[in-house]
Amino acid sequence: MPQFFLNKRLIILLVSIIILVALIGFSLRDREQLTWPERFIKDSTGWVQSLVSKPTHFVAGFFENVEDLRITYNENKELKKRLDKLASLEAQVHLLDKENTELRDILDKKETLRDYDPIQATVIGRNPDHWHEMVIINKGKVDGIKENMPVITAKGLIGKVKNISQFTSTIQLLSTMDPKYRISSIIQADKEVFGLVEGYDDQKELLLIKTIPYNAEIKKGQNVVTSGLGGVFPEGLVIGKVVDVVPDQYGLNLTAYVKPGANFYDIENVMVINRTMVQPDVSEMVDDEEEEL
Amino acid sequence: MSRFLPFVLFFLLFILESLFVELFPVKMFNKDWVFAPHFLIASILLLTIYGSKKHGVWYGLLFGLLFDIVYTEVIGIYLFMFPLTAYVISKMMKILQSNIIIATFVVLLGISILEIVAYEMNFLIHITTTPFPIFINTRLLPTLILNFVFLVLVVYPLKKQFEKMNEQLG
């Protein structure tokens, strides 16, 4: 192929490789927000996407309903079994809830890390190349969404807001490989164990909580929830259940495998969580530290 | 009118790809398999083969940029790969004859190039840690099967359309 190596083409190729590397570097660095052309394009395509996604979800929903009808009988039996337990549980929860508010009143402690306002949103798109696990929702800056807010479905946490534009935002799912993606969590053992959800095992489809102290008593089936100590996340959002605990590479710590409560596929309606308690100002914390030093 | 037809078509496919991954029952066949739809680039490659090469490369550039901004948020990979694949395919078609079966396989080859290079780049910037053999088995093969089905459905109507358009534009 001598033609291919003609000077002009070679130069174009080299220049575009340089531009490619520069652009990737530009988009990978820690950006506070997207540039305005990106936000504009996202908003415009988001508008078209939400137009298209409504009718398609309606049609898909119809087929899902037909599928549901098929399994109704078994499901009904199972649900009836659980319903018996529910009545007593409900009474118990009511009692505890009341007691909790009373005790809080006595202590004069009104705000907790647990309080939040949910913002309802609908998924209008998903990244078709499966490398970056991201979905696009139809709420953005004007609806009060900010970066890093947690996003949940009825079954549990699915991810956090990565980027926002005026009317849409992108959510990075928990199943992402990004090493910078961490969520402060609690394993609800007899004695609560703190840990960071970091990483996702692609083959097993399980989340990883690394660097748990070696003597922590964790068993299978224990719940994992958010701790609320990360700054933006409220306390008590369900992440999943522990399915396995193994010593790590060097045998100094434990790694827990967590089966996520939410399904990362087939997501339609989500809630973006706006924590009502004040968020700590990061810049303030950094300044304090520096003064101490 | 026919001047804007490819644009409208590509834009619809651009949105269809995202709807497809949202609605496609992933665990229907095998839960380890990843089906990545590449309907958009497949159609752009068909335009390159049957329409004009120049249009193919420019549409590749435009939709690559759009794809990067809207879906991946890492600008560069598809912006670079869409036009490059279109260019390589157009060079290849100079040697091969453009019958419909050969065109289908050349487009599939283009998709493989795109997938492999995109994998290598994502591997380099640590977005994925999947080893190469696993990537081939769980991702590349299912993806090629999916896109082959798509190509079988659309290759004939698109060929007609693009050839007609090419004649009209002269």
User: How far is it, in rounded angstroms, from Cα B170 to Cα B157?
Assistant: 20
**pLDDT score of B20:** 86
Question: With an 8 Å Cβ cutoff, is B31 touching chain A?
Answer: yes
Residues 4-23 of A with CB under 8 A from B: 4, 16-17, 19-21, 23
Nearest to A130 by CA among A177, A60, A182: A177
pLDDT at A174 over 80: yes
Question: With an 8 Å Cβ cutoff, is B154 touching chain A?
Answer: no
User: How far is it, in rounded angstroms, from Cα A212 to Cα A258?
Assistant: 13
pLDDT in tens, B16-30: 888 888 887 665 666
Q: How far is CA B164 from CA A36, B27, B97, B107, B161, in A?
A: 39, 40, 19, 20, 5
Q: What is the mean pLDDT of residues A210-221?
A: 84
**pLDDT score of A272:** 92
Q: Do A20 and B126 touch (CB under 8 A)?
A: no
CA distance B71 to chain A (A): 5
At A293, the pLDDT band (50, 70, 90 cuts) reads very low
Please give the backbone phi and psi of residue A227, each rounded to the nearest 5 degrees, phi first: -95, -20
User: How far is it, in rounded angstroms, from Cα A121 to Cα A141?
Assistant: 13
At B113, the pLDDT band (50, 70, 90 cuts) reads very high
pLDDT in tens, A75-96: 888 888 888 888 889 999 999 9
User: Token pair for residue A213?
Assistant: 């102290």
Question: With an 8 Å Cβ cutoff, is B20 touching chain A?
Answer: yes
User: Token pair for residue B3?
Assistant: 């001047």
User: A19: which chain B residues are within 8 Å (Cβ-Cβ)?
Assistant: 76
At B111, the pLDDT band (50, 70, 90 cuts) reads very high
Q: What is the mean pLDDT of residues A149-154?
A: 90
Helix pair angle (B39-50, B141-169), 10° resolution? 40
Q: What is the mean pLDDT of residues A97-111?
A: 84
Q: How far is CA A59 from CA A56, A62, A146, B75, in A?
A: 5, 5, 32, 33
pLDDT in tens, B55-85: 889 999 999 999 998 888 888 889 999 999 9
Top-confidence range, A24-33, A261-270, B52-61: B52-61
Helices (H), chain A: 7-28, 36-70, 72-107, 282-292
Termini Cα distance of chain A: 63
At A231, the pLDDT band (50, 70, 90 cuts) reads confident
Nearest to A137 by CA among A37, A24, A270: A270
Question: With an 8 Å Cβ cutoff, is A52 touching chain B?
Answer: yes
pLDDT at A21 over 60: yes
At A26, the pLDDT band (50, 70, 90 cuts) reads confident
pLDDT at B3 over 80: no
CB contacts < 8 Å between A and B, how many?
117
Q: Do B66 and A178 touch (CB under 8 A)?
A: no
Question: With an 8 Å Cβ cutoff, is B152 touching chain A?
Answer: no
pLDDT at B170 over 90: no
Q: Which of A17, A52, A202 sits opposite B19 (nearest CB)?
A: A52
User: How far is it, in rounded angstroms, from Cα B83 to Cα B57?
Assistant: 5
The least confident of A54-58, A142-146, A281-285, B154-158 is A281-285
Question: With an 8 Å Cβ cutoff, is B92 touching chain A?
Answer: no
